[in-house]
A = this chain, B = another copy of it.
Amino acid sequence: MKFSKIPEATIRRLSNYARCLEEMGKKGRTVISSASLASMCGVNAAQVRKDLAYFGEFGIRGVGYYIKDLHEDIKNILGLNKKWRMAIIGIGNLGSSLLSYKDFLKKNYTIVAAFDIHPEKVIGPISEKMGRPVEILHPSRLKEVVKERKIEIGLITTPPSEAQKVADALVDAGVRGILNFAPTQIHVPEGFIVKNVFFTTILDNLAYILSNKSRKG
């Protein structure tokens, strides 16, 4: 049961469930049914149960799920029982905004190195923004710093034209996970993972739906 192929959509939803459970937990509730959790996340109740069933049995029949426990279980499933160490490359507007993005710092992810071709240009604005000042390094030191600081994930926030080069450097340094914010396709060898964050793709999606919604209603 543990090793059947798990849909990527399931993993995405688990991440959502975790967020909802956290909210619920803060509100002092202790138990939740698959139906409530489902409606909160906008999915089917059976879906919730199926998603969890890939990984074991977490509920109590006739009762539901203990919020605290389930939250912990999902975090373990997702690999969030540790802090992931990340580097960010490209400290323009987006990069510096991510650097100071509180939600990263809070829990399972931490940015432990920042790189830019022109380190001196960005030092001012950044140290201003952050509580603690952040040292911006030149990309030539990437490989060395990845080793030193045990970096496992790279965030690419350069212009699109530089993204593939940066990805190559990350691969060369042995960074297996890449989150790409530059709106261009990146290719990496087998065994490395790239996930894209293209909000323009999502915007295009929205534009499509809005354009074609007239015929529905």
Contacts and interface: CB of A to CB of B under 8 A. Distances in A.
B100 A212 contact: no
Nearest to A8: B205
Interface residues of A, number: 62
Contacts of A40: 185
- From DSSP, what is the main secondary structure of chain A's interface residues? helix
Contacts of A129: 93
Contacts of A33: none
Contacts of A187: 42
A108 interface: yes
A197 B203 CA distance: 10
Interface string A173-217: 000110100011101000101011111111111111111110101
Contact of A97 (B16, B79, B96, B193): B96
Interface of A: 3, 8, 11-12, 14-16, 18-20, 23, 40-42, 77-80, 84, 93-94, 96-97, 100-101, 103-104, 108-109, 129, 152-153, 176-177, 179, 183-185, 187, 191, 193, 195-213, 215, 217
